[in-house]
Amino acid sequence: MQQIRSQVTERDGLFELEAGSDVLDSPRYNHDMAPTKVRERTWNKWHITALWVGMSICVPTYTLGGVLTAYFGLTVGEALLAILFANVIVLIPLTLNAFPGTKYGIPFPVLLRSSFGILGSNVPCLIRALVACGWFGIQTMFGGLAIHLFLGSVFEGWKSLGGTGEVIGFMIFWALNLWVVIRGAESIKWLETLSAPLLVAVGIGLLVWAMPNVSMTELLAIPAKRPEGASVVSYFAAGLTAMVGFWATLSLNIPDFSRYAKSQKDQILGQIFGLPLTMFLFASLGVIMTAASVKLVGVTVSDPVTLIGHIQSPVWVAVAMALIIIATLSTNTAANIVSPTNDFQNIAPKVINRTKAVLLTGIVGLALMGHELLKKLGLIVSDVSLETVYSNWLLGYSSLLGPIAGIMVVDYFLIKKQQLDLAGLYRDDVYPAWNWAGFLAFGVPVVLTLLSLGSDAFSWFYSYGWFTGSALGGIIYYGLCVMRAQPSAVKSAV
């Protein structure tokens, strides 16, 4: 006989839910969104380290140094320092927002129900989902190009397909990504675990290939592309903000992964071991490889897929492209599909299961890349480049996501005191449908960010958007929650 009321049990600081009919019959619950059982939390610190290595070693990371020198006016040395500092900074919201996922086994959308409301959680979820779908499309474009070059190295006639071959490669890689995620969290865990050492080995191999063809002294001495005599502080801070924005998305939905961690210690150590150094070293490799590309292949090439495509040996091209396909797959599945899959389910868990949500993610990502795909097919002509879109997203969307990160941390640690009603997060009778404190705390920084775009005096608010947004969002949320609690406290005292 099915129990009516849900029961919550605790084992070594980890909570799990024995769902009764009050939760099982709720429209806010399905199996995929349910809290993980303690026995399902099998990811140790090395699995989480591998997750971050797999996500960090990708084409966009490789190009970060170039983005900072070309678009943010930094020297090579300043750019690499900005990348290292940014990833140390982003560890703070990553580890803090991972805590409730590990303790309660809940994904990101369910955690948001505490700070934005049971229904209101869908708004920040969909903002996060749109960013992820965009990144999914961009990464799939890189993976599709790698497949195209791989097939071109194996079948001579494939090269003649040109842009059409790239589009076919895109669709093959698109389908492969969706298949991995539909298979579930364990398939992602093993993909990341197996690919991480392989990707590190590839990075070392590329470094050995490039180092004889580049002078580090000359590379570090290249002057910055900023006005002569301009202070480095404002340029460095803007670049730092953009680099924080690179993983600002994961700092929100890290509970999607920490819900599988064995303990808080595992999730903390795994993230410390896996993120900052990997990002720094692979971005450094990108700078070195780009500098060496002139001697290696005769022209300056800023992304590894195109660089390796210049190699004359079909065998080495095929091997290298296969490795890049693995690298991009390990990044894309974890970083860009898991989150929107959970976010879309949160809209209507009884209607949208994991498979449907994965397919919806794929369709949105495909639509967002429609312009680029039509260009490759020769059906439209446009000067809009994928690199420009990519660099603008880093700064713009980090400004929108910052307040959400601040609100989540304040809600869990300061307002809820790390105590959540686990069963109540899946029902309609504990948390409000819409938590207007969360929306006001989110809306004010976003409006100020948009207004600062038209003001030279307040342009810094946008340039440092993640920092200003997260701090202001957290402060406003805390103030609103404290003011709301005071009347009830006075009443009970009387």
DSSP 95-149: HHHHHHHHHH---HHHHHHHHH-TTTTHHHHHHHHHHHHHHHHHHHHHHHHHHHH
- Output phi, psi for 263, to 5 deg: -160, 170
Residue 135 · residue 336 · CB < 8 Å = yes
Band (pLDDT 50/70/90 cuts) for residue 87 is very high
pLDDT in tens, 234-247: 888 888 888 887 88
pLDDT in tens, 28-63: 999 999 999 999 999 999 999 999 998 988 878 888
| pLDDT tops 50 at residue 493 | no
Greatest mean pLDDT among 331-340, 374-383, 406-415: 406-415
pLDDT on residue 492: 37
| pLDDT tops 50 at residue 489 | no
């903002």: which residue's tokens? 127
Threshold 0.85, pTM exceeds: yes
* Mean pLDDT computed over 402-411: 95
CA 473 – CA 488 distance, rounded (Å):
24
E strands, 341-425, in order: none
- Output phi, psi for 214, to 5 deg: -145, 145
pLDDT on residue 339: 92
CATH of 42-398, one of 1.10.10.10, 1.10.4160.10, 3.40.50.170, 1.20.210.10: 1.10.4160.10
pLDDT on residue 491: 40
pLDDT on residue 338: 92
Burial of 382 (0-12, 13-18, 19+ CB in 10 A): exposed
pLDDT on residue 471: 93
Residue type, 346: N
pLDDT on residue 392: 61
**Domain residue limits, the chain:** 42-398
